[in-house]
Amino acid sequence: MYILRKYYVWISFCTALIFPLQSLATDVTMAFGDNLPPYIMASSDSGLEIDIVKEALAYRGHHLIPKYFPMARIPYEFINQLVDAIMIDVGQDMKMYGGHYGVAPILYNNVFITLKSKHINIRTPKDLVNLKIISFVGAAKRYPDWLKSIEHSQGYDERNNQSSQPLLLNLERYDVVLSDREIFQYYSKKHAKDDSTFKMPDIDVHVFVQPNPLDYRPVFRNKIVRDDFNAGLEYLRNCGRYQEIIHKYLLQK
């Protein structure tokens, strides 16, 4: 009888882990960048990053409600308690505002991109001097060793909308694009699909840093939700679902 009772207690405990109490589940309003395909596709509430976060939260019953903003506005939304979580802190420490950092669900692979015909070499920050550079919002804060000295120069530009980067590089309006490889590739293919006259010239990709997980950590107002998210993310990775999502967006092109 003791063994049987112990067995039922064990079954109940495991069931609680797999099917958490619904009373503990909550809606999580989370701020994301407004459009960074294939990671974030605001029009359909989908994308590599959205799907991973959504399923990680759902592991313990939470429901993701994504909100989309220009990158510079994301910290403002959290600081002013307009959202429950943010996908990225854009270089601003959220701990002093009650933020609890989670594990990074994905890493962006940011690189310098130039036209091969330009024969540009980028090995040190000095190589960027006198070049016209277009980047995403917050890049100078994230990579001060590379961009601080040119951040306020006329040749440096940060824009929230990255869709124009392949076009502007192709037109030689800029010498260098700082972007994630997949985002640049996505928009290059999209422009070619939308406009038969567009063809992206051969490019050189300059790797200047290794992705840092600390740069891509989500921030939660509720510590329990943060812990549940981390547990869900670990589950996705262990069961193989994480790689399925990666494959869906990055390998089937």
Q: What is the tens place of the pLDDT at every residue in 65-105?
A: 999 999 999 999 999 999 999 999 998 999 999 999 999 99
67 with 188, same domain: the answer is no
Q: Which domain holds residue 239?
A: 21-106+213-251
95 with 147, same domain: the answer is no
CA distances from 159 to 81, 177, 223, 243 (A): 25, 11, 33, 31
101 with 217, same domain: the answer is yes
The confidence band for 35, taking pLDDT boundaries of 50, 70 and 90, is confident
For 99-175, list the strands marked E by DSSP: 100-101, 110-115, 133-136, 156-159
160 with 193, same domain: the answer is yes
Task: Kindly report the pTM of this predicted structure.
Answer: 0.83
- Indicate whether 8 belongs to any domain: no
Residue spans of alpha helices (H) in 19-59: 48-58
- List the strands of the sheet with 27-33, edge to edge: 63-69, 27-33, 85-86, 219-220, 100-101
- Indicate whether 15 belongs to any domain: no
* Of residues 109, 110, 151, 108, the one with CA closest to residue 128: 151
Residue 193, helix vs strand vs coil: helix
175 with 118, same domain: the answer is yes
Report how many domains make up the chain. Answer: 2
Q: What is the tens place of the pLDDT at every residue in 144-203?
A: 999 999 999 999 999 988 999 999 999 999 999 999 999 999 999 999 999 999 999 999
Domain boundary among 191, 206, 221: 206
29 with 97, same domain: the answer is yes
Task: Identify the pLDDT of residue 252.
Answer: 55
